[in-house]
Homo-oligomer: A and B are copies of this chain.
Amino acid sequence: MSIIKGFSVKCKLCNRNAVIYQRHSGRHLCKRHFIDDIYKRVKYAVRKYNMIERDDRIAVALSGGKDSVALLHILVSLYGHRRDLEFVAITVDEGIAGYREETVEISRRITSELDVEHIIVSFREHCGLSLDEMVKKGDKKPCTYCGVLRKHLLNKASREAGATKLATGHNLDDETQTILLNFLQGDVERLARLIPQRIQEGLILRIKPLREIYEREVVTYNLLNDLPLALDECPYSHFPVRAMVRDFIYEFEEKYPGRKFSIMRSFERLIPCFKHEFPQKDLNRCQICGEPSSKEICQACKLLEEIKGR
């Protein structure tokens, strides 16, 4: 897929000039038909997985990065007119100096423009320490603290905001990388945990409306809609194994367009198997914070106790 400028190829579906070439479908598309196609595929995924139901109040995890900004814009465009639905954006400020300020600001701006309720929760306020401070004090990798605590706070904040669903911006590239990575690592339990969850008390159901949309399409969508495109990578980001898998999938898709969909199809064909062989565990409540947890003390409290004891 590439954005076409300076010469005029016609849209496959109408007489307008194409703005992109969609490799997986072999079609040139104009702005309108590209955006229509994105909407169609998001709606299809939403229906297929029952992501949005009548009277839902949907929390949108809004980091301010390209994916979550596109997600919020798409959800509001597609479902904003529905009287029975409500949206609330939740931004977690982990406290990463020189990186997070810009995306928090983007989050404020986009929620204000789209007229969506916006809640900001910070590590500093809820955990007593920013991520930068945790990294200095603790002995774990930044992504361990961030991954566990962000998930913890997103669930807590969504629940406290009365949400029935929590939407995240994971796109087709993210999902296929995670699927393949777990498969390659022999971690079938973790692979099975990627399937849509069942309702459990205290746990807000997570949905991924962009799971069928290529990362490149997300970027194109933002460009065509003049949406902010924060492309800076987190300074702590360091995933060498995932990067290797990402690069392979990228090359594979380049040579054989549509293969990311194939990976997703393989995974989906296995969902009934996963449900049968790896049923989701019943969750307890953490004895410290009361959040849902498979253990007596949740991972977030464990990390925080450990770091505060130092």
Contact = CB atoms under 8 A, between A and B. Distances in A.
Interface in A184-215: 184-188, 191
B274 A188 contact: no
A79 to B, nearest CB: 30
A241 B252 CA distance: 8
A9 B137 CA distance: 43
Contacts of A251: 244
A244 B256 CA distance: 11
Contacts of A244: 251-252, 255
Given A244-B252, A273-B274, A273-B276, A259 B188 contact: no
Nearest to A269: B188
Contacts of A263: 183-184, 186
Interface in A251-300: 251-252, 255-256, 259, 261-266, 269-270, 272-274, 276-277
Contacts of A272: 277
A248 interface: yes
15 contacts: A180-B184, A182-B266, A183-B183, A183-B263, A183-B266, A184-B259, A184-B266, A185-B266, A186-B261, A186-B265, A188-B265, A244-B252, A244-B255, A272-B277, A273-B274
